Amino acid sequence: MGSTSRAGSVGSLGIVGGGVIGLAVARRAASDGWDVRVHRTEQRGASWVAGGMLAPHSEGWPGEEAQLAIGLESLKLWHSGFLAGLPGDIVTARRSLVVAVDRADVADLRTVADWLSAQGHPVTPTTTARDFEPLLAQGIRHGFIAETELAVDNRALVAALETACVDAGVRWAPPVTDLAEVDADVRVIANGIDAPTLWPGLAVRPVKGEVLRLRWRKGCMPLPQSVIRARVHGRQVYLVPRGDGVVVGATQYEHGRDTTVVVTGVRDLLDDACTVLPALGEYELAECAAGLRPMTPDGLPLVGRLDERTLVATGHGRNGFLLAPWTAERIARELAVFGGAQ
209 vs 339, beta carbon nearer ligand GLY: 209
CB 277 within 8 A of CB 240: no
Contact status: 209 vs ligand GLY (CB under 6 A):
yes
Contact status: 56 vs ligand GLY (CB under 6 A):
no
Give, for 172, the enclosing helix (H) or strand (E): strand 171-173
3-state helix, strand, coil in the chain (%, to 5): 35, 25, 40
Least gap, CB of 114 to ligand GLY (angstroms): 23
Least gap, CB of 49 to ligand GLY (angstroms): 9
Give, for 195, the enclosing helix (H) or strand (E): helix 195-198
Q: Rounded to whole angstroms, what are the CA distances from 163 to 8, 37, 87, 302?
A: 23, 14, 8, 26
- List the one residue out of 75, 93, 183 whose CA is nearest residue 145: 93
11 vs 249, beta carbon nearer ligand GLY: 249
Contact status: 53 vs ligand GLY (CB under 6 A):
yes
15 vs 250, beta carbon nearer ligand GLY: 250
Contact status: 213 vs ligand GLY (CB under 6 A):
no
Strand order in the sheet with 150-152: 53-54, 150-152, 91-93
Contact status: 241 vs ligand GLY (CB under 6 A):
no
267 vs 333, beta carbon nearer ligand GLY: 267
Least gap, CB of 236 to ligand GLY (angstroms): 9
191 vs 319, beta carbon nearer ligand GLY: 319
Separation of alpha carbons 278 and 136, rounded Å: 7
Q: Which residues bind ligand GLY (CB under 6 A)?
A: 51, 53, 209, 249-250, 293, 318
